[in-house]
């Protein structure tokens, strides 16, 4: 746009961190994904101790390839992986980005690729923003403890939590998130609570490579804990899980976000 002499430009956005030195930014309003809420059977909000980690991925971005490959290679018995990307279709696999993040991650991911797509449910219908389709993947949450989220927007000055962040809130599950920098901090500004009392959330202050490597450390920390310790941890974090669920369902979260410098 800088090649033209516009007298006035207004950019409409859902990103509360959007900034431009010349053009006017107009925030459209509440994140339309956060406004999508649904009643969840309480049974799905429990943990039957079958698995610890869950990753529910579609598009094969670098972070999702790295996280799924890491879980598949090192913690397959403790993980529930659904990755619908198929190497026979025209997906853009972000191997170049993953290679820049961490060479070892590419090695782990190469083993995963031979098994794609990995489908926990045959119906690959994910989330419908109009509320017309039941999110079948909620039925899997009673089997897992921690949702390993790979968000849509992961770089730059942006904060846009999608259904990938709200789904574990509705299912009352803790989460670790690969997103843009300070994603968890902005969630806390909204009034949601995160899980720094139970594991290291310093990864939130980093992007790309550093975030991914620190998330690996968090996964290892959780994976190596005895089951009885995880059960007790789950009980202790229940007030946080209830708080996030209630805040989302009541739509009473704060929408004012202050950019972290």
Neighbours of 64 (CB within 10 A): 26
pLDDT of 125 strictly over 90? no
pLDDT in tens, 229-246: 999 999 999 999 999 999
pLDDT of 211 strictly over 50? yes
pTM of the model: 0.92
Closest CA to 188 of 127, 122, 260: 260
CB 139, CB 104: distance < 8 Å: no
CB 193, CB 244: distance < 8 Å: yes
pLDDT of res. 123: 57
Neighbours of 142 (CB within 10 A): 17
pLDDT in tens, 83-115: 999 877 778 999 999 999 999 899 999 999 999
pLDDT in tens, 9-68: 899 999 999 988 888 999 988 888 898 888 889 999 999 999 999 999 999 999 999 999
CB 81, CB 55: distance < 8 Å: yes
* All structural domains of the chain: 1-30 (no CATH), 32-250 (3.40.50)
pLDDT in tens, 183-207: 999 999 999 999 999 999 999 999 9
pLDDT of res. 128: 46
pLDDT of res. 132: 43
pLDDT in tens, 132-154: 445 788 999 999 999 999 999 99
Determine the Cα–Cα distance for residues 237 and 199; give it in Å rounded to an integer: 11
């Amino acid at each position: 746009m800088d090649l033209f002499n516009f007298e006035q430009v207004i950019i409409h956005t859902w990103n509360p961190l959007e900034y431009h030195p010349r053009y006017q930014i107009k925030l459209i309003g509440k994140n339309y994904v956060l406004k999508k809420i649904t009643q969840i059977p309480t049974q799905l909000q429990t943990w039957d101790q079958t698995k610890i980690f869950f990753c529910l991925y579609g598009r094969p971005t670098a972070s999702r390839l790295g996280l799924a490959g890491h879980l598949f290679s090192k913690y397959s018995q403790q993980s529930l992986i659904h990755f619908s990307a198929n190497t026979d279709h025209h997906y853009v696999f972000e191997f170049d980005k993953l290679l820049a993040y961490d060479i070892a991650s590419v090695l782990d991911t190469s083993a995963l690729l031979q098994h794609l797509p990995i489908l926990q449910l045959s119906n690959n219908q994910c989330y419908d923003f109009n509320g017309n389709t039941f999110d079948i993947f909620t039925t899997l949450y009673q089997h897992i403890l921690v949702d390993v989220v790979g968000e849509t927007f992961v770089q730059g000055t942006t904060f846009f939590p999608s259904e990938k962040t709200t789904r574990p809130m509705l299912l009352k599950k803790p989460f670790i998130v690969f997103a843009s920098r300070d994603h968890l901090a902005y969630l806390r500004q909204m009034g949601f609570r995160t899980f720094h009392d139970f594991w290291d959330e310093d990864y939130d202050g980093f992007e790309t490579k550093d975030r991914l490597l620190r998330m690996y450390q968090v996964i290892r920390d959780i994976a190596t804990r005895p089951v009885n310790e995880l059960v007790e941890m789950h009980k202790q974090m229940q007030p946080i899980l209830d708080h996030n669920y209630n805040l989302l369902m009541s739509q009473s979260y704060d929408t004012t976000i202050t950019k972290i410098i």
